[in-house]
Amino acid sequence: MNYKKYKSYPVMDFSERTWPSKKIEKAPIWCSVDLRDGNQALPVPMGVEQKIEMFKMLQDMGYKEIEIGFPSASDTEYKFLRRLIEENIINDDVTVQVLTQAREHLIEKTFEALKGAKKAIVHVYNSTSTLQRKVVFNKDKKEILDIAVEGAKLLKELAQKYTGTDFVFEYSPESFTGTEIDYALEVCEAVLDVWQPTKEKKAILNLPATVEMATPNLYADQVEWFAKNLKNREAVLISVHAHNDRGTSVAATELALLAGADRVEGTLFGNGERTGNVDMLTVALNLFSQGIDPEIEFDNIDHIIDVYKRTTGMTVHERHPYAGDLVFTAFSGSHQDAIKKGLKKYQEEKPEFWEVPYLPIDPADLGRKYEAIIRINSQSGKGGVAFILEEEFGFKLPKGMHPEVSKPVQEVTDNTGKELTPNEIFEIFKKEFLNITVPLELIKVKVFSEDADDSNVSIEGEIKYNGVQKTIHGNGNGPISAFYHGLQKEGLVGYKLIAYDEHAISDGENAEAAAYIQLEDEISGKRHYGAGTDRNINKASIKALISAINRF
């Protein structure tokens, strides 16, 4: 790999920067460019109906500015804009944005397409970068500046002609990050001199990282330098539009907001040319995770993903921040245990702030469910299996039982190399621990209490051991003790009771109880758990005792 064919991006001499010590405290103005920048990057661009479905969803999410396309560039985009206007699809509080190159016939067609719109941002651009001036246009700085100024003049002229629309003007020096910073400022100020924006009627200057060329801190330096040196700053909204060629567009955007940017253009899930645009969902939910209202709704993220997939034909990666199928899933045993404990503590204590290990936000805030958080494969631990059994099936295993239950699950995942579903895990639990009837089986039992406090109990029961049915009688200080003594009389047991737990699995008159018993073999010292369920807690306990015996 010939790395010497590349040169490093120049570093600005800007010691006056203040952004490193600042904090983002509110959401920026958001502008979705899914229907333009995102659409033009699709292998198969969206049709009009798909665009309308996407537009409606973006409105429902709360976007107030939506770039709908390049109406002068294709018949599809022109018809789409006309449908939005003529069928009154645009909400009163939403402004559509259209893009046009700084060329006379394209600008005129753009205004024609906007006729009848209540509010519109007309976004005009031309490339100012050193490379494109030299390679693409073969023009000098003055010629490029003149293109921008002529385009700005035409916008102002046509806005006066189409008086029924409230127009806002936006200008982009395309490839801003590839343009000399002082020249980019010069071109932008020449455009503003034409438009004469005010504090009440602002213009938008968009500073696109059309190609991401350097580390995010350098983009922040450029944005802050530009904002500090711009004349009449209070009459301008500074917008950023980061691409993801270096994989750092989210960081670049966040640092640009620290540096003074007011507005962000981007797409859902980062769809866009090459490696994509900045992912607006990630930036917004990063704010959300810091206790800042993102002013965009993501509480039904699965619906957003469904519409996105259907309209764009694209997919969302399983590890995509916040949105991927696996981002709220833990396979590692230690992670599973920490999540399980964290969720339990959060649900019990209901603290003011969300704090659960490994989960930066509550999946429920995005419409996701807790059941999907922990999944079981060969990397999983004892805590994960216990979590599944409790969350999915109501079995609150005592902590000492966790390693014993996870062992047969681990054996299956090791042998198959596959992830197990909750039902598959439960089947293993039932087979190995729950209501085990071989070789010892309970046929029936009656419990008699001789004292009000159940301190003196006798039982009468029928069991089957290795196919032979027997009647047993026993006494003790509780049902388990009495049944155990009945088994002893028949010479069937030689164990010591180590632990006992019980709980209700469900509520109501038909609720079942679950019991867990751990026994120790008096000769070998080995210990085993057994579990039992029944609508009667005494029978559930006896079944747990039998299950534990049968596991030796």
Per-residue pLDDT tens for 113-169?
999 999 999 999 999 999 999 998 899 999 999 999 999 999 999 999 999 999 999
Q: Report the pLDDT value the prediction gives residue 452, as an integer from 0 to 100.
A: 62
Residue 331 has pLDDT above 90, yes or no: no
% pLDDT > 70, the chain: 98
For residue 48, the model assigns a pLDDT of 95
Predicted pLDDT at 26: 98
Q: Above 70 in pLDDT, residue 373?
A: no
Bridge partner list, 80: none
Angstrom distance (rounded) from CA 418 to CA 462: 42
Q: What is the mean pLDDT of residues 23-48?
A: 96
Interval 290-297 mean pLDDT: 97
The pair of structure tokens assigned to 11 is 């570093």
> Which residues lie closer than 8 Å to 546 by C-beta, 6 or more apart?
436, 437, 440, 441, 442, 530, 532
* ∠ CA 184-186-187, rounded to 5°: 65
Label residue 419 by pLDDT band (50, 70, 90).
confident
Mean pLDDT for all residues in the chain: 94
- Paired strand residues for 205: 171, 238
**By the 8 A CB rule, do 549 and 519 touch?**
yes
**Higher-pLDDT residue of 331, 488:** 488
Lookup: tokens for 412: 């299956």
> What per-residue confidence (pLDDT) applies to 62?
98
Q: Comparing C-alpha atoms, which of 19, 9, 36, 41 is closest to residue 179? A: 9
Residue 215 has pLDDT above 80, yes or no: yes
Whether the pLDDT of residue 23 is over 60: the answer is: yes
